[in-house]
Structure 1
Amino acid sequence: MIKHPRWLALLICSLLLFTAGCGNVQKEASNEGEQSPAGSPAQQSDVTLMLDWTANTNHTGLYAARDLGYYEEEGLNVSIVQPGAGGTDAMVAAGQAEFGVSYQESVTLARTQDVPLVSIAAVIQHNTSGFAAPVDRNMKTAADFEGKKYGGWGSPVEEAVMKSMMDQEGADVSKVQMINLGDADYFTAVKRDIDFAWIFYAWTGIEAELRGEPLDMIYVKDYSEALDYYTPVLVTSEDLIAQQPELVKAFMRATAKGYQYAIDQPEAAAALLSKAVPELDQELVLASQKWLSPKYQDDAARWGEQKAEVWKGYADWMFERELLDKQIEADQAFTNDFLP
């Protein structure tokens, strides 16, 4: 299941590990990442790509790039791995993984802690997350959160987002009962403990459709442009960009091809992901892929494109609500320079 990331708690733990001695241990640059004059790789470079969560259709383009040989064509031997105990962001910042899957929320917080993460592509162009409830709870707008039980992971951002939405409708967030569910299954929780939760529609929403358990979905982006942030994103470290820019370019050329494949051929891409990760429900993967494929690029000029106003808008929103200790330089948090 794609679960909305418990990004704040996990990132704070990761940052503590990073600043306490995980260290900025960037792998030494070697001639493995050098390119021949013709632009073809001199030899294979081993690259670690760390996911944010268990594999799902947010990641299809990455598996496509690996299994269709796009990374190999660029001279990259890419290993796709699950998140480490220290968290993906900290591992990437410390050079223990060259690339990772993260979120604009967590990159923004990391930048305030001087953790040198940089977003190099938006996986999905618009925010597909929101608050979801079974239709029998009759929750059509944010005002309907009043008097209901919300199941989350105990992050300050949850209440801040909820409050900003409810304020627009004259509703009171203090009338929402907050329940910390951790990693509990959404479908079990709404039958037993809660009325609504924060989900990504592309997975949990599609699963609800397949189960015949329809949802009311209230997308956060519909309430504020600032909440239409990039989630997820691909990240790397400032050190890797400085030391091995050609490796980053090669990775992004192949990755962009992988996501283009997922955009153009959702059924084949779904089959590829199911083969790579056989424990996933094949029916869910296919339905999710069909829903998500048009949303990777959406209205952007190219897949992965990021806008400064999106980064600044969300950082300002977080700062105004005291979710950040200081402002960030938004144009340092992301780059489009490595997109083909």
Structure 2
Amino acid sequence: MRKVQITLLIAVLWLVAVLAGCAQSSTQPGGSNPSGGTNTSGGGQAAGTTPQPNTAAPASGSGNLQQVTVVVPRTVEVLDDAHIWSAIKMGYFAEEGLEVKIEQSFGTTDTKMVALKNAQFALPSPNFLFMGIENGLPLKAVFQNDSINIFGMAVRTDSGIKTWEDMKGKKVALGDAAWANIINPTLIAAGLDPEKDVEYVVAGENRFQMVQEGKLDILFTWVAEYSQLKGQGFDFEYIDGNEILPYTSNPLVTNAEYLTEDPEMVRKFVRALAKGMYFVKMNPEAAADLTLEQFPSIKIPWDGAVGAMMGRVYQGFGLNEADQQKIVNEGIGIADMDKWKLNMEWAVKTGIIQKEIPLDQVVTNDFVDTTWDKSKVEADAKNYVFKVKDKYQ
């Protein structure tokens, strides 16, 4: 059973960490904010504002590098973006002539920012991508950032909630009301009616604590966030959405116009990001170190940070070694069209979009390079010199 599988995988990593962690806060799906930090990337769309179109090409950064912005749908001060930070700090983006910054978006403004060219890339859930395309936004997925259904529910170990059926009549903590569009298909596939069987409560950055304190029953979460929470001492168990709906999750999305206007920028970003993902897989400790160096305010024991990196690996490569090796062999970032078809079917079935969109209008593998030299990244991972590890032990 997938729930048992993922719980056992993560539990091994947390034998020490769960005894020593400390509680913090978070926002937005596809990444966590247990540090309670703010956006330190140097920008971001202000909450409540409407993005305005940017007609200029991406600017030049320092040293004539092309400046590229990727927006994430929550705070940037997390461990979940370790693959991006790895690509930044190990020089993979710079090798491609890119200077990359990560910015925070709010709600569903990440796709709007990309559509208006205020950012070049975003990492939304497939359902938000479908909704954007249905509403006429020029968006396309170009890289598979998360290869599994990363979303699920976390409950206190003493809650008595062990199955999806047990969730009937319970209160589910969301960071944003729009997150219901992400988890509703899984609830429906599990035999629940989201409108009748559960009550969604938008708890924002306090959602972890409200579930931990028993004020709310269930935390809507995802694999990497749950991994980090366990490492920080939250007494949670995970109920896995992937065992109910084994489809895909957040892709890397760009403005479809860039595919013809600046295809090399897209190829370069995707190639460097793939290297960053592989770096995390080859040395999770190194990825933890460089991300904690970037965000020293994240309070977590070392074992917990490494466990969070394993959560990132599970999201990007799969839950078992066979699945992970298949992605390494066939191409990091290659989209599984069968999974995307399942995403589309459930988006229509649950009313997220009105009708199916041809997949070739949604996602492409044309910009994923499968020929780059893995041995260099393997050497980088092996020879990494730790910067802050000693401070967390």
Match of 1:224 among 245, 250, 257: 245
Whole-Å Cα distance in 1 between the matches of residues 220 and 106 of structure 2?
24
1:166, distance to aligned residue in structure 2 (A): 2.6
Structure 2: unaligned runs, 5 residues or longer: 1-24, 31-46, 370-393
1:51, distance to aligned residue in structure 2 (A): 2.3
Match of 2:310 among 290, 293, 301: 290
1:224, distance to aligned residue in structure 2 (A): 2.6
Match of 1:335 among 346, 355, 364: 364
Whole-Å Cα distance in 2 between the matches of residues 43 and 151 of structure 1?
45
TM-score normalised by length of structure 2: 0.71
Whole-Å Cα distance in 2 between the matches of residues 286 and 97 of structure 1?
30
Q: Aligned to 2:70, what secondary structure does the other structure show? A: strand
1:324, distance to aligned residue in structure 2 (A): 1.1
Whole-Å Cα distance in 1 between the matches of residues 58 and 359 of structure 2?
28
What residue is the counterpart of 2:336 in the other structure? 307
What residue is the counterpart of 1:38 in the other structure? none
Residue range with higher mean Cα deviation, 184-193 or 59-68 = 184-193
C-alpha contact 2:227 2:307 (8 A) present in aligned 1:
no
C-alpha contact 2:231 2:300 (8 A) present in aligned 1:
no
Q: What is the 5 A alignment of 1:1-340?
A: 3=27, 5=29, 17=50, 22-23=52-53, 25-28=54-57, 43-55=64-76, 56-83=78-105, 87-152=109-174, 153-155=176-178, 156-157=180-181, 158-167=183-192, 174-211=196-233, 213=235, 215-225=236-246, 228-230=247-249, 232-283=250-301, 284-298=304-318, 299=323, 300=327, 301-340=330-369
Whole-Å Cα distance in 2 between the matches of residues 218 and 294 of structure 1?
15
Structure 1: unaligned runs, 5 residues or longer: 7-13, 34-41
- Cα shift readout 1:229-277 (whole Å, capped 9, x = no counterpart): 22x3211111111101111111112111111111101101110111112
C-alpha contact 2:154 2:239 (8 A) present in aligned 1:
yes
Whole-Å Cα distance in 2 between the matches of residues 136 and 255 of structure 1?
40
Q: Aligned to 2:169, what secondary structure does the other structure show? A: coil
2:248 is aligned with what amino acid?
Y
Q: Aligned to 2:213, what secondary structure does the other structure show? A: helix
Whole-Å Cα distance in 2 between the matches of residues 314 and 53 of structure 1?
22
Whole-Å Cα distance in 1 between the matches of residues 367 and 254 of structure 2?
11
C-alpha contact 1:121 1:306 (8 A) present in aligned 2:
yes
Q: Name the count of aligned residue pairs.
A: 312
| Aligned CA distance change for structure 1 residues 209 and 82 (closer, same or farther; 3 Å) | closer
Whole-Å Cα distance in 1 between the matches of residues 348 and 160 of structure 2?
33
2:72 is aligned with what amino acid?
L
Q: Aligned to 1:151, what secondary structure does the other structure show? A: strand
- Cα shift readout 1:23-51 (whole Å, capped 9, x = no counterpart): 4x343379x79xxxxxxxx9521222222
TM-score normalised by length of structure 1: 0.81
**C-alpha RMSD over aligned residues:** 2.9
1:320 is aligned with what amino acid?
K
Q: Aligned to 1:315, what secondary structure does the other structure show? A: helix
1:193, distance to aligned residue in structure 2 (A): 1.9
1:17, distance to aligned residue in structure 2 (A): 4.6
| Aligned CA distance change for structure 1 residues 338 and 204 (closer, same or farther; 3 Å) | same
1:101 is aligned with what amino acid?
L
| Aligned CA distance change for structure 1 residues 4 and 129 (closer, same or farther; 3 Å) | farther
Whole-Å Cα distance in 2 between the matches of residues 319 and 86 of structure 1?
19
1:287 is aligned with what amino acid?
G
Deviating 4+ runs (over 4 angstroms):
1-4
C-alpha contact 1:166 1:172 (8 A) present in aligned 2:
no
- Cα shift readout 1:92-140 (whole Å, capped 9, x = no counterpart): 1111111222221211111111111111112221122201211211111
Q: Aligned to 1:211, what secondary structure does the other structure show? A: coil
| Aligned CA distance change for structure 1 residues 50 and 149 (closer, same or farther; 3 Å) | closer
C-alpha contact 1:84 1:91 (8 A) present in aligned 2:
no
Whole-Å Cα distance in 2 between the matches of residues 80 and 154 of structure 1?
24
Q: Aligned to 1:57, what secondary structure does the other structure show? A: coil
- Cα shift readout 1:34-72 (whole Å, capped 9, x = no counterpart): xxxxxxxx9521222222222333311111111111111
Whole-Å Cα distance in 2 between the matches of residues 325 and 243 of structure 1?
30
Whole-Å Cα distance in 2 between the matches of residues 4 and 29 of structure 1?
26
1:212, distance to aligned residue in structure 2 (A): 5.7
Whole-Å Cα distance in 1 between the matches of residues 285 and 156 of structure 2?
28
Counting aligned pairs with the same residue, the percent is 22
| Aligned CA distance change for structure 1 residues 160 and 61 (closer, same or farther; 3 Å) | closer
1:88, distance to aligned residue in structure 2 (A): 1.5
